[in-house]
Amino acid sequence: MARAVPLPRKALTTALAWTIGVLMFFPILWIGILAFRTEVDAIRPPLQVLAAPWTTESFAAVQQRSNYLRHFTNSVVIALGSTAIALLVAIPAAWSMAFVPSRRTKNVLLWMLSTKMLPPVGVLIPIYLIFRDAGLLDTRTGLVIVLTLINLPIVVWMLYTYFREIPAEILEAARMDGATLRSELLFVLLPMAVPGIASTVLLNVILAWNEAFWTLNLSAARAAPLTAFIASYSSPEGLFYAKLSAASIMAIAPILLIGWVSQRQLVRGLTFGAVK
C-alpha cells in the first residue's frame, strides 16, 4: 500500500522536482529557443531573446552552408558500426567472464574499466600517428575502429552484469541437451539477454553519437559526423549563436528522439540488476 503523503509536502516535493528538472533541461531548452531567433536577436539580453519573433532562417542558413545529410549519414554509420563490432567482441567476452570466471576475472574487468579513466588526450598523439600511417585519418572506418575500442569496456561491463543475472544452470542444461557453444549462445543465452542487449545497444549508440573528442580530432571533411558539424559553427568565423544552436538541435534531434521513445527500456537497462 502506498504511504499517505500530506498535501503541502507533496506540493513542495513536486515543485522541487520540477525546479531541478527544468534547471537540468534549461541549456537544451535555451538552445532550442536560440535556434529559432535571428543572429541579431540571439545575442540580446535573455528577456529580449524570449520576446523576439520566431524564425527558421538559421536552419535554412545552416542547411545551405553545410551538407547536413552527409554528416548525419556519417554519424549513423559510425554509431551503428562501432556498436555492432563492439557487440561481436563483447558478447563472447562477457559470456566467458560471467559463466567461466577465473580468479582474475574481477581484475580484468576493473582493468578494462580503468582504461576509461585515462584522459583520451594522453593517447591522442600515438593514435593520431598510427592512424596517419595506416591511412585511417578522416575515414569512417577509422572512426568506427576508435569508437569501438573506446566504448568496448562499457559494453563488456554492461553485458557482463546482464549475463550474470542468467542462471548458469540453464546454459548447463543446454550443454547437456547437446548444444554446441554456438547454439548455446545463439538459442539460449542471447534470447534470454535481449532486454539487456537492447539497452546496451541503445546506450552505446548514444555514447558513440555524442562522442566529440576523437571524432573531431581524427576527421576533417569526408568522415566528419554531426559533432564536427556543430563544431564548425563555433570559433573560426566568430560565434554565431543562432546558427550554432540550429546546428546543435539538428544534430541532437535524432538521438533525443530515440532516447525519448525508448526511455523506459533505457532506464530499465541502467538500473537492471540493482534489485532482483
**Interaction site with another protein (CB under 8 A):** 167, 169-170, 172-180, 183, 187-188, 191-192
Closest distance between another protein and the C-beta of residue 169, in Å? 4
Per-position b or e across 103-118, b if 16+ CB within 10 A of its CB: eeeeeebeebeeeeee
Burial (CB < 10 A; 0-12, 13-18, 19+), residue 101, is: middle
Residue 201 and residue 73: Cα distance in Å, rounded?
A: 18
Nearer to another protein, 25 or 187 (CB): 187
Closest distance between another protein and the C-beta of residue 185, in Å? 13
Nearer to another protein, 192 or 207 (CB): 192
Go through the chain and tell me how many residues it has.
276
Closest distance between another protein and the C-beta of residue 177, in Å? 4
Closest distance between another protein and the C-beta of residue 193, in Å? 10
Nearer to another protein, 28 or 170 (CB): 170
Q: Note the maximum CA span of the chain.
A: 72
Nearer to another protein, 30 or 99 (CB): 99
Task: Specify the amino acid at residue 249.
Answer: I
Tell me, what DSSP letter sits at residue 116?
G
